[in-house]
Structure 1
Amino acid sequence: MSRFLQVCVFCVSVAGCSLAPQTALPPPPVPASWPMGDAFLAQSEAALPAVSYTELFRDPRLLALIDAALADNRDLRIAYADLAAARAQVRVVRAGQFPSVGVGAGATASDEEGGSRFDISAGVSGFELDLFGRLRNATESERNRAFATEAVARTVRVALVAEIATTYATYAADRDLLAIARATADNARESVRLTRLRLEGGVAPRTDLARAEQVLAAAEQSIAEQTASLAQDVNALRLLVGRDIEPALLPASLAEIAGSYAPLPAGTDSRVLLRRPDVIEAEYRLRAANADIGAARARLFPTLSLTGLLGLASTALGDLVTGGAFSARAGADAAFTIFDAGGRRAGVEVTEAQRDAALAQYEGAIQTAFREVADALADQGTLGERARAAAANSAAAATEARLTEARYRAGVDNFLDNLVAQRSLFAARRQQVAVELAALANRATLYRVLGGDRAASPGS
């Protein structure tokens, strides 16, 4: 075997080396299953179900808003643009692994004997043999960062779907609260009218009328506040969707949409958290950090670059393709820094420290995810009982208010008892709406903290 072939075989064999450490993911630093106890429902599923938001949120109007948002939301567009840039950057870095070929042509003219000269050349300039994997590790690092950026886009997408579902339910709750405020105001106006008649008849004191007017003023203030809240809910939906919203797409009450939010079983195995986009993002950033270590280690070794040039030159254009016009040249350069005051070694230490930070961030992302899911499950486990208690309280308050008002009209009870009963009813109804809203918001939250659609990807 010739010396040239031996050198080529050596370069190819060495070029297969990589100085990057293997990425070994640690066991998830969380319990293997979700918390148990009075606050948690029994979980029967063994893994995160393969469901999409269309299976969880079944109201056609809500789905129309979500589909519009996936097309027009500006934050999502930014995330997709960042992803496109990251994918292109991978190709930019990867191009350094291949030789760059250039072509040139020229012509010169002279009054001296010999006339004109014509040149055509093609060459490879400064192609670095990736003997120790620096370029390949740089490409691998950039590729993993692109995967992390894709996970970021998925996180934005999942959060967007959950936020729209929550805001949609909030609008329905505010419609209910506005209806409660209006009903309370109507009842208060009747109390004011009745109390004024009793005052004019000398049966009731003036303080009763003042108290009745207080109840009416409070109800009218609540109407104004809920009207503003509804407008703000629409503004929030408009921003999330990225376009104007047809009034026909908005719900009239919580009762109208309560059955369209399906429950999402969380599963017993906490390893489903490894599918969360933010955890996937942290994993790929850890892999990128390991690849950076390989690239930094490779800088400790010499670099070898190849150059080559093929050309044609002739004093006559017609002779340009003859054998005597052809020329070729090749060369190789090796470079190695003998002393740099420890700069390259410090560069390796920087990447190793960054890897340690990426590992901690990966583990922290899992722990944060576990806490968010456990909190959502605790809410889910108690919301049923809270809803039953709120409904019972509201029914009891309505009965008390009705009986107290009848006794007041009959002159058995004073107006203060009636006032307290009306205020209790108003608060109980508002609390019931709050619990019903929390139940729907909890389902959207579980969708988000469990990672959304298992197969969801940007642009899907």
Structure 2
Amino acid sequence: MNKTLNKSLVAAAIAALLAGCSLAPVYERPAAPVTTAWPQGDAYQPAARPTEAREAADIGWREFIGNDRLRKLVELSIGNNRDLRVSILNIERARGLYRVTSAAQLPQVNASVGQTAQRVPDNMSPTGDGYITRQYSANLGVAAYELDLFGRVRNLSEAGLQQYLGTQEARRAQQITLVAEVANAWLTLAADQERLRLAQDTLKSQQISYELSRRRFAAGATSGLDMYEAQQSVESARNDMAVYTAQVAADQNALALLAGAPVPAELLPVGELTSATQLADLPAGVPSTVLQRRPDVLSAERSLQAANANIGVARAAFFPSISLTASAGSASTALSGLFKAGSGAWSFVPQLTLPIFSGGANQANLAVAKADRDIAVAQYEKAIQSAFREVADALAQRGTLDERVASQAALAEASARSYRIYEARYQKGADAYQTSLTSQRNLYAAQQGLISARLAKATNQVTLYKALGGGWQ
């Protein structure tokens, strides 16, 4: 028995060595459907890149974010955000599915111990007396192990592996998005807090002007027009205060959702936007090949590789499959004789299945697998194109934001000087209140525009960092 069983195991081992054949197409990464350089033009900065410049994917978010409050808030969000938690659980699920498919490449060995009891009735017994027969068995065996001659099982395992690796990349992409969303929400809150303070200061100034106009009107020095126009400005400032008070509360709620927990007051921005943002600068002149390091692009490529492996699975269905079922053990009619000499038993059942007619199902499955591969190619190319556009848009904004901030700051400074002159002239009675009021409104609009420009510059840094694949480490 042992010699026969050893020969069977040797034959199975030789067949397993032949299992290296695969009918899947050789994978080749599709050419990137974008140019190797970023767009050029008036909206873009010169694409000079220092040799020591680092790519965004190599700059961890802790290094990119210099503000300690924002850094701690991002840490809180990574630990509690529910979307990111779902991505992590998807990794665990994909890992389990991969282990299931890869386990099929190895024989499943099972041990069994059993008893079969049967009573023969009196009318069927040769002696006329009924009796009971018993049979005991103990076996170690392999059930329906497929010899993977054409790589069907191996390609199933490869597809599972690529899907698992794709979920890991999807988790990294989710973290990149989360880091950018938290940073932008935090910066928006800082800007809205500054807008609220500006509205409060404007309201105080308008109330002083209104009181002055009211006293002058009461004394008969001016008409009621100045007083009513001053009152309009007061009510407008009160309205802005209400709007920005509600907006600040909404910004805090948005941060709490991203963080997955209430945000402690010590992690909220304090001071002006310029002092709240301490983001590291990024090199602009990086080649577009850096996009292939983005986790979402890598995830799309993993899906493409899985679809490529599934073609091998579909092709293998056209070829014969061999499965082995074998067992060896001991059998006896008495429990005491189960492992005695002469009780050995074995079975070996090889089975060859040859597809002859399937009504075109195998051909249809192959066509579906090829179509899935072509879809995955298009999705991979679309992921690269979308990533290229995100970076190009961010670079276009970056190339003009410095000029925008500088011009807005100069406008705010000129408006402030103009307002001080007109206000002094009005206080001395040398000019009409309408002129001073118009100047004050221009100053308020210029200051609001400066806050918006500074916010746009800060969020552009975050957007460019995200678009270049930074934030997952």
- 1:25-174 counterparts in 2 under 5 A? 25-42=29-46, 43-45=48-50, 48-49=55-56, 50-109=58-117, 116-174=134-192
Paired amino acid for 1:313:
A
After superposition, the Cα gap between the structure-2 partners of 1:446 and 1:401, relative to the gap in structure 1 and judged at 3 Å, is same
Residue correspondence of structure 1 range 244-259 to structure 2 within 5 A: 244-255=262-273, 257-258=275-276
**SS of residue paired to 2:330:** strand
Secondary structure of residue in 2 paired with 1:323: coil
Q: CA RMSD in A?
A: 2.1
2:30 maps to amino acid: P
User: How far is 1:120 from its partner?
Assistant: 1.6
**Displacement of 1:297 after TM fit?**
0.6
Tell me which residue corresponds to 1:215.
233
Q: 1-side partners of 2:104 and 2:69: how far apart?
A: 50
Structure 2 stretches of 5 or more lacking a match?
120-129
Per-residue deviation, 1:72: 1.2
Measure, in 2, the Cα distance between the counterparts of 1:116 and 1:5: 31
The 8 Å contact of residues 300 and 376 in structure 2, kept in 1 or not, is answered as yes
Aligned residues of 2:150 and 2:316 also touching (Cα < 8 A): yes
Q: Does 1:23 align with 2:27?
A: yes
Cα distance in 1 for partners of 2:297, 2:287 equals 16
C-alpha deviation, 1:113, in angstroms? 5.7
Alignment of 1:352-391 (within 5 A): 352-391=370-409
314-323 or 125-134: bigger deviation: 314-323
Query: CA 1:266–1:135 in structure 2 vs 1: closer, same or farther (change >3 Å)?
Result: farther
* Whole-Å separation in 1 of the counterparts to 2:421 and 2:79: 54
Deviation at 1:299, TM superposition (A): 0.8
Measured after TM superposition, the shift of residue 357 of structure 1 is: 1.1
Matching residue of 1:349: 367
Task: Measure, in 2, the Cα distance between the counterparts of 1:9 and 1:75.
Answer: 47
Query: What is the one-letter code of the residue matched to 1:64?
Result: K
Q: Distance in 2 between matches of 1:384 and 1:413?
A: 37
Question: For residue 307 of structure 1, what is the aligned residue in structure 2?
Answer: 325
CA contact (8 A) 2:138 2:329 kept: yes
CA separation of 1:98 and 1:12: change in aligned 2, threshold 3 A: closer
Give 1:125 shift: 1.3
Q: Which amino acid aligns with 1:44?
A: R
Is the Cα–Cα contact under 8 Å of residues 279 and 461 in structure 2 kept in the other structure?
yes
Bigger shift: 369-378 or 48-57?
Answer: 48-57
- Cα shift readout 1:265-300 (whole Å, capped 9, x = no counterpart): 143311011101111011111111100101111111
* CA offsets 1:355-401 (integer angstroms, 9 cap, x no match): 11111111111111111001111111111111110100001111111
Select 2:354's aligned residue among 336, 340, 348.
336
Question: 2:142 is aligned with what amino acid?
Answer: V
Look up the SS of the partner of 2:104 in the other structure.
helix
User: In the TM superposition, what whole-angstrom CA distance separates every residue of 1:331-356 from its partner, at most 9, and x where no partner exists?
Assistant: 11111221122111111111111111
Instruction: Pick which of 430-439 and 244-253 moved more.
Output: 244-253
Instruction: For 1:176-191, list aligned pairs within 5 A.
Output: 176-191=194-209
CA displacement at 1:452 relative to structure 2: 1.1
Gaps of 5+ in 1: none
**Aligned counterparts of 1:435 and 1:300: Cα–Cα separation in 2:** 64
SS of the residue 2:191 aligns to: helix
1:407 matched to which residue of 2? Answer: 425
Structure 1 counterpart of 2:260, one-letter code: G
* Structure 1 outlier segments of 4+, above 6 Å: 2-7
In structure 2, the partner of 1:292 is 310
Quote the offset at 1:253 in angstroms: 2.7
Q: After alignment, is 25-34 or 183-192 more displaced?
A: 25-34
Deviations 1:386-445 (A, max 9, x none): 111010000111111111112222222222212211111111100000011111111111
Amino acid at match of 1:34: W
Q: Say whether the 8 Å CA contact 2:153–2:313 is kept in structure 1.
A: yes
Note closer, same or farther for the CA distance 1:9–1:307 as it changes in structure 2 (3 Å cut).
Answer: closer
Instruction: State which of 393, 396, 410 in structure 1 corresponds to 2:414.
Output: 396
How far did 1:11 drift? 3.3
Change (3 A) 1:235 1:4: closer
CA distance in 1, matches of 2:411, 2:436: 17
Aligned to 1:318: 336
Match of 2:441 in 1: 423
Counterpart AA for 2:361: G
> What is the correspondence of 1:228-239 to structure 2 with a 5 Å cutoff?
228-239=246-257
TM-score calculated relative to the size of structure 2: 0.91
Post-superposition offset of 1:108: 4.3
One-letter amino acid of the structure 1 residue matched with residue 29 of structure 2: L
In 2, Cα distance between the equivalents of 1:410 and 1:453?
Answer: 58
Shift of residue 262 of structure 1? 1.4
Give the direction of change, closer, same or farther, for the CA distance of 1:368–1:4 in structure 2 (3 Å limit): same
The alpha-carbon distance between structure 1 residues 59 and 5, as it changes in their structure 2 partners (threshold 3 A), is closer
Kept in 1: contact 2:187–2:273 (CA 8 A): no
For the residue of structure 2 that corresponds to 1:380, the secondary structure is helix
Inter-partner Cα distance in structure 2 for 1:206 and 1:291: 83
SS of residue paired to 1:384: helix
- Separation of aligned partners in 2, 1:386 and 1:28: 34
Q: Report the more deviating stretch, 115-124 or 395-404.
A: 115-124
Aligned AA for 2:195?
L
Distance 1:330 1:448, change over 3 A: same
One-letter amino acid of the counterpart of residue 33, structure 1: A
Superimposed CA distance per residue, residues 110-153 of structure 1 (whole angstroms, 9 cap, x where no aligned partner) = 67567643222222111111111011001101111111111110
In 2, Cα distance between the equivalents of 1:415 and 1:110?
114
